[in-house]
Amino acid sequence: MNVILTSDFPSTAVPAVVARLKAQGPNPRVAWIAPFSEGAPARFALAQARFAEFGIQHLEYCDIDQEPDDVQLAYLGEYDVVYLSGGDPVRFRYNMLRTGAGGRVGHCIRAGRLVVAASGGSLQLTPNVSIVRLQTEPLEDVIATRGAYNGLGAVPYEFLPHVNRCTDEFLEKVRAYSEHVDHEIVGLADGGAIVHDTPERYEPVGDVVRFRQGVRA
């Protein structure tokens, strides 16, 4: 397994992530996937510039919303790296399912391809994306409908990005949510990463906050 979850890479450089990218070869091909098409070309241009600063020149935009390329998605496993950008995790999940990109990303993970994700993209790799719904929905509603928001389940915990920006009120809601789930919730600050070699064996880089069964640690 070769999976990295981040809060905001490449906006913030994380040396461990850059090193893993460069280890894929002298000029790795990176499939860059955003949750939806609106604003994606401008964001992709920024990503190209940022990745270029790390010596990664070969990014290709993969649309999973308005103009998906079925052939490109079918050959996603031919890329050296798959990158899932930030953005609305619920809409991201819908488009991943609708286009079959989720299954393709899962295949890449099982084949040992490097998959790097940021923020809403990172949530796609977890058991469930409902944690973001706590921002706008009552806890009771989120719990009641949680089963309809499953992610790929590549990692065994739910993920809370940008934990350093979260209010105390929201973090208390996350703690209460954790009482209703069987696994851990890992919050990661901007500038950090969680680097996986297996689903259960991973190395956190940067500041993390953990929630489990109603306890924050």
CATH of the domain at 99: 3.40.50.880
Determine contact, residues 163/187, Cβ cutoff 8 Å: yes
Total number of domains in the chain? 1
DSSP lists the bridge partners of residue 30 as 59, 81
State the pLDDT at residue 163.
97
∠ CA 175-180-184, rounded to 5°: 60
How much is the pTM? 0.96
- pLDDT per residue over 142-190, tens digit each? 999 999 999 999 999 999 999 999 999 999 999 999 999 999 999 999 9
Which DSSP string do the residues of 134-191 spell out, in sequence order? GGTS-HHHHHHHGGG-B---SSSSEEEE-GGG--HHHHHHHHHHHTT-SS-EEEE-TT
Q: How many residues does the chain have?
A: 217
State the pLDDT at residue 117.
98
State the pLDDT at residue 155.
98
State the pLDDT at residue 207.
95
Domain range for 68: 3-216
Buried b (16+ CB within 10 A) or exposed e, 175-189: bebbeebeeebbbbb
Residue for token pair 């901007």: 190
- pLDDT per residue over 106-143, tens digit each? 999 999 999 999 999 999 999 999 999 999 999 999 99
Instruction: Tell me the mean pLDDT in the region 49-59.
Output: 95
State the pLDDT at residue 180.
96
